[in-house]
Amino acid sequence: MKILFYKRKYFLRRSLAALVILAVAGLFVVGLQRLQFDSNILASLPQRDPVLADAHYLFTHHPIYDRVVVDVAGGGGNTNVMEEGADLVETRMRESGLFKDVGFRQIGRLVPELMRHVVDHLPILFGAGELEREILPLLAPEIIHRTLD
């Protein structure tokens, strides 16, 4: 009889503990379903301020807003490994079908136009002395190789 009372006592405790655990788990699930994360910082700022409204418009309509940038880095200065890694990431991103445009092909088409623009406006950006003193040394082949390595 004493053993039966002992088992019943622990049965009630264990049942109560299981009930409490189930209730806490249920409330946790309900809390998670109601929880919403808003990463849009601009939405929490005052909307009637004209400066903030213009900034909001600029951020939401800027072409870079919906871009994903992946930075591939590696130690040891081995550029071949980094190139292979970048090619692998680019290939996998393209194969996934989740991205409209992958890589720098679209930007690469703009480089000739950019070069033309720079050459046309270089005299405006720098004086002759500045070009010779500051820019010309940076274009030396050994400086370029050191930068790339």
Domain that holds residue 128: 104-149
Total domains present in the chain: 4
If asked whether residues 94 and 133 sit together in one domain, one would say no
111 and 132: one domain?
yes
Consecutive H or E run containing 72? none
Q: Give the tens place of pLDDT for each residue, 123-143.
A: 777 788 888 888 888 888 898
Q: What is the dihedral of CA 144, 145, 148, 149, to 10 degrees?
A: -150
pLDDT tens sequence across 18-43: 999 999 999 999 998 988 877 777 77
pTM assigned to the model: 0.37
Segment 93-119, tens digit of pLDDT: 888 888 877 877 777 777 788 888 887
- 17 and 57 fall within a common domain: no
Structure tokens at 33: 């379903």
Whether the pLDDT of residue 148 is over 80: the answer is: no
Same domain, 30 and 3: yes
- Whether 146 and 125 share a structural domain: yes
Considering the domain architecture, whether residues 144 and 113 belong to the same structural domain is answered as: yes
Q: Which residues make Cβ contacts (< 8 Å) with residue 117, sequence separation at least 6?
A: none
Residues 113 and 142 in one domain: yes
CA pair distance 119, 133, nearest whole angstrom: 18
Could you tell me the CA-to-CA distances from 15 to 9, 26, 28 in Å, in that order?
Answer: 10, 16, 20
